[in-house]
Structure 1
Amino acid sequence: MKLLVIGLDGVDRALVERFDMPVLQGILEQNTQVPIKEDLWARGWVKVLSGLPGTETGAFYEQPKLNGSGEFTQSFGTSKYAGLKKPPLWQAMGDRGVTSGWLNLPTTMPAASVDGFMVSGAGGGVSPSDRLPRKACFPAEMTDDLTQDRMCWENRFRVSGYRSADTYIPACTDAIWQRARIFSRLVKKYHVDGLGFLAQKEPVLLTNVFMHDVLNHRIDGTEFATRQLLKNFFNCLDDTIDFLCKTLQPDNVAIVSDHGAGPYRKSLNLNALLHRNDLVKFPSQPGQNRVKKQIRFVSRMALRKLLGSDAIPYDSWHPYRQAIDHTRTQAFAHFYVPGVYINDERFSGTVTNAADKQRLVRQIIDLINHDPLLSSENIVATPFRELHSECPFADLLPEIWVDLPDDVFPEHMGKLLAKNPLDRHWFDLRDLPRDIGSGKKTPAALCSF
């Protein structure tokens, strides 16, 4: 094999240095390092596979559907690569007559036809709760073999079924080893001697939940147990890299990631600021409905305490997005997007005049940049969409970009700026409502070749 590319989702140099990973550390020391800073809204794996930024691909984690509603989507697959300025990497390899093998790459559903094999990864709007579909495999008949091998397609926390660290982390450890063995076997079966690309998603799945435990060294109780399980996972991740290098004997090894990992300490909800200034409106609720919801909330809390936290799932009453009334709203923020949208014709909104849009952009930037609380956190707003008005996906972009500290995540509920209540030690995971716990993505990514 000429080149083996190992994709480590959510891994940066700082994370590698926190654990005993001599093989990976040795590769990074030997290779050339390219400093990469991701914006965390555009999909990093699409950048890796296309060589293009999100403004040129339209690949964003949360993006407007542009169907006249206020709905957003995370969908992105192989069909979206068609017509871009550059062909995706698998097509570029095929055009050059290079054999290639691909396993677990996000945003590659359905699997593309290649001279070799491809197994698409989950994500990109494809639910990881589904079993491995035939459209995820090329050749399609490979699906039966992988199903018989009981290949773990992905272990995303909420759909995994695991609810404690001592079952979830070992399951992730087993998954990366299983995937490495399957990849090695497929490379040999399909005679891939050009490019091999294996992506491992589990590092980011674990740091998103357990970053507090990654950063804190306790020597007793469940804190120690979680830390030891994490150490074993990253030791094994290093072992899988060693295994692949020895079994495939590539001429060159490249290590890439789509972003880094860090603590998630605070949430930002810009809709709180916009609502305070009468720019965003929420659906009105009669007082009686509010009372009913409060009674339901208190009742569920009491039942959870009485019957156990699994009796009533936390996320059944803990929404992380608040509905917006687009018929009365001038501007709004959205979950995952570090910015503010003007509620214009894209959303069948109220703002249609260009002069009004420009006025609102200036007003909102001024509100954000002069808010004492946001200024104290070095949160800064700048014009964004107008700077990319000529790009093919300008309609997906927010009018205003907001630069955030690495430990702040853009939410859609709660106060303007609030502490993350999930930023703590985790062992019993029954009260964790979603895949994001004490960790989040950070801009530093690996590009080592």
Structure 2
Amino acid sequence: MKLLVIGIDGGTKEIIDGMPMPFTQSLFLGAASEHLEEDLISRGWAEALTGEHASTNKGFYLMPCADGSYDFSASYSKSEMVSASSNKPIWDLLNENGVSVGIVNVPTTGPADEVSGFIIAGGGGGVKAGGGVPDGMVYPPSYKKILENNRYVFDVRLPGGEDTVSGFLRKISEAEEVQKNTFVQLAKQEKPEFGFHCFRITTEVQYLARYEIKRCIEAFSDCRAKGLEFEPDNEIQRELVNHYRKLDESIKFIFRELDPESYIIIGDHSTALFEYEGNIDVWLSEKGYLKVLSPVEAFIRKGFRFLKRKALLALGGKNPPKASLIRRPITSFSKNKTLAFGTFYDTGNFAGIFINDSDRFGGPVKGLKATKSIVDNICKEFNSDPVSIEYGLIAKPYREVHENARFQHLMPDIKIHKPDSIYFSSRRWKFITDNPNLKALSESLAGVRYPYSGVKGSDPLFVCSKNLEQLIHEGDPNDLRLAYRIISRFFIQAN
């Protein structure tokens, strides 16, 4: 294999350096690395697959429908990515230049395209966690039988049919083991020049158990300093250590069996410790930019929306998209008296503010001049707030710096620059509050939901073999679009 890309969803250098992963650590010692910065509104894997930011490939974690409602979409698909992007997806670009590909479990690759080589689409995108092998997710289709024989699992999501954290961790390790074996089996059969295998489910471990992982890293460090062997405190820590040992062994197995000439190891984001939870709507309400509805008003609005939906269905209208794909602001606010509202619970880690404009939401703010005035005023007030200063929060215009971008209208008007450890969700009515889940995990999974003790971080893992360093050019973007550029330059310049 000429070039191998290993993806680790949520890949975090601190974790790989701190846990027992000697083979991967040895790779890092002889490699080049880049410190990337993701804004966490744009999906990292979509950036790596297209070389484009969400402003041009529509790969937002959460975006307004911008149809006069306050509906937001949490869905994103390969078809949207391909149709929105001006660049070809990496598999098409390489195939058109005579390069065969072997891609397994990378998000936003399904349904699998017809390629020179093979693709097993990544989990997500409608694939049921723990289910069988759906049609259309494997190319060539004949390889579906191999996956079935291997008992291939596309995805595992909490609770994964398990009652305990330890059982959940074991299930993830078992699924990733089968995925890795299947990738190597097909790669040895097809012999693609480019390979891309993603350990996607590891990110589920880190969202759930980031606090326990931190405790393990600290204990390993302390034991090394004292010349002692690390002994886990509990069964959860024991399974965490086993997970990272198996991940390291899997990476070693792939390298040993496929012997790549060059390699890249990347994450789509890192995983940070979730220390505080924030709610921008609280600040906006206190400053008069957002008018919260009374409980009675909120009840009336909910009832009106229910009756409206029933009436539309009675008149032959279609059912709305699945509730899991459409989200609405958690805060019930007055549409006519609210000038701005904050981003709310989503699968990224982006804190921002939307101006309640007439074009996107049917709100009271009309025109660019009025929008800019409110943006400037909010940024000035927010940045002088003692609480913002205490927690390192800085508000800056965001939407306007992407002027003329195709999907600029889907962006928040303001970005709150912040530590990754503060996750803004609108779930709790306090500007900044401690995360109650930042503590040792108990074995029971009853009532446990994401995010728990880990959230997306902005500094994804990016390591590559030394010979690829020359393919990084001055002016290249400092995010995962860089991966697309290195891969394309490696093959197309070589040819």
Q: TM-score, normalized by length of structure 2?
A: 0.79
- Which residue in the other structure is 1:434 paired with? 449
Correspondences of 1:237-256 after superposition (within 5 Å): 237-256=247-266
Matches within 5 A, 1:301-316: none
Q: Distance in 2 between matches of 1:55 and 1:104?
A: 25
Q: How far off its partner does 1:54 sit?
A: 2.3
Tell me if structure 2 keeps the 8 A contact 1:281–1:329: yes
Which aligned pairs between 1:139-218 and structure 2 lie closer than 5 A?
139-158=140-159, 160-189=160-189, 191-217=190-216
2:462 is matched with 447
- Offset at residue 195 of structure 1 (A): 0.8
Unaligned runs of 5+ residues in structure 2 are 221-229, 301-327, 465-495
Q: Label 1:416 to 1:131 Cα distance change in 2 as closer, same or farther (>3 A).
A: farther
Match of 1:405, as an amino acid? P
Distance change >3 Å, CA 222–CA 236, structure 1 → 2? closer
Pair 1:124–1:268, CA change in 2 (3 A):
farther
Residue type at the aligned position of 2:409: D
Deviations 1:235-257 (A, max 9, x none): 00000011111222222222111
Local SS of the residue matching 2:211: helix
Separation of aligned partners in 1, 2:151 and 2:355: 47
CA deviation vs aligned residue, 1:305-363 (integer Å, no higher than 9, x gap): xxxxxxxxxxxxxx993344434422111224311001112122221233321221122
Matches within 5 A, 1:49-68: 49-68=49-68
1:143 maps to amino acid:
K
CA change 1:284–1:352 in 2 (3 A) is same
CA distance in 1, matches of 2:442, 2:23: 29
Higher mean C-alpha deviation, range 140-149 or range 42-51:
140-149
The 3 A distance-change label for structure 1 pair 386 and 359 is: same
Secondary structure of 2:364's aligned partner:
coil
Per-residue deviation, residues 273-305 of structure 1 (Å, max 9, x unmatched): 112233223444229979xxxxxxxxxxxxxxx
CA distance in 1, matches of 2:125, 2:343: 18
- State how 1:7-46 maps to structure 2 within 5 Å: 7-46=7-46
SS of equivalent to 2:169: helix
Query: In structure 1, what residue type is equivalent to 2:186?
Result: L
2:395 to 378, 381, 398: 381
Cα pair 1:106 1:122 within 8 Å, conserved:
yes
Moved over 6 A (4+): 218-222, 287-290
The secondary structure found in structure 1 opposite 2:412 is coil
Distance 2:273 2:411 in 1: 27
Paired with 1:287 and 1:83, the residues of 2 have a C-alpha distance of 40
Code of the residue aligned with 1:341 in structure 2: it is F
Residue 351 of structure 1: aligned partner: 365
2:95 corresponds in structure 1 to: 94
Query: Partners of 1:332 and 1:130 in 2: how far apart?
Result: 38
Do 1:101 and 1:116's aligned partners in 2 also have CA atoms closer than 8 Å? Answer: yes
CA distance in 2, matches of 1:322, 1:117: 46
> Residues 365, 288 of structure 1: CA spacing in aligned structure 2 closer, same or farther, 3 A cutoff?
closer
Aligned length: 419
Secondary structure at 1:36 match in 2: coil
Q: Percent identity?
A: 26
- What is the deviation of 1:129? 6.5
**Distance in structure 2 (CA, Å) of the matches to 1:245 and 1:213:** 29
Q: Distance in 2 between matches of 1:16 and 1:266?
A: 24
What letter corresponds to residue 194 of structure 1 in structure 2? E
- Where does residue 299 of structure 1 map in the other structure? none
Q: Structure 1: which amino acid aligns with 2:214?
A: L
Cα distance change of structure 1 residues 430 and 12 upon mapping to structure 2, 3 Å threshold: closer
Preserved CA contact (<8 Å) 2:127 2:134? no
> Secondary structure of 1:37's partner?
coil
Q: What displacement does 1:398 show?
A: 0.8
Aligned to 1:397: 411
Asked if 1:71 corresponds to 2:75, the answer is: no
Residue 271 of structure 2: which of 261, 270, 273 is its match? 261
User: Alignment partner of 2:285: what SS?
Assistant: helix
Give the partner amino acid of 1:355. Answer: K
1:285 partner letter: P
Checking the alignment, whether the CA contact within 8 Å between 1:422 and 1:432 is kept in structure 2 is no
CA offsets 1:13-55 (integer angstroms, 9 cap, x no match): 2111111111111112222212211112211111111122222
Inter-partner Cα distance in structure 2 for 1:246 and 1:222: 30
Give the SS at the match of 2:452.
Answer: coil
Separation (CA, whole Å) in 2 of partners of 1:284 and 1:434? 28
CA deviation vs aligned residue, 1:41-85 (integer Å, no higher than 9, x gap): 211111111122222222111111223221112222222223523
**Per-residue CA shift, 1:176-209, capped at 9, x if unaligned?**
11111111112234x1331111101122111111
- Residue 308 of structure 1: aligned partner: none
* SS of residue paired to 2:191: coil
Distance verdict in 2 for CA 1:31–1:432, change over 3 Å: farther
RMSD over aligned CA atoms reads: 2.5
Check 1:19–1:131 CA distance in 2 against 1; reply closer, same or farther (3 A cut): same
* TM norm structure 1: 0.87
Say if 2:126 is the partner of 1:111: no
- Read off the aligned partner of 2:120 and give its amino acid letter: V
Matches of 2:403 and 2:297, distance apart in 1: 44
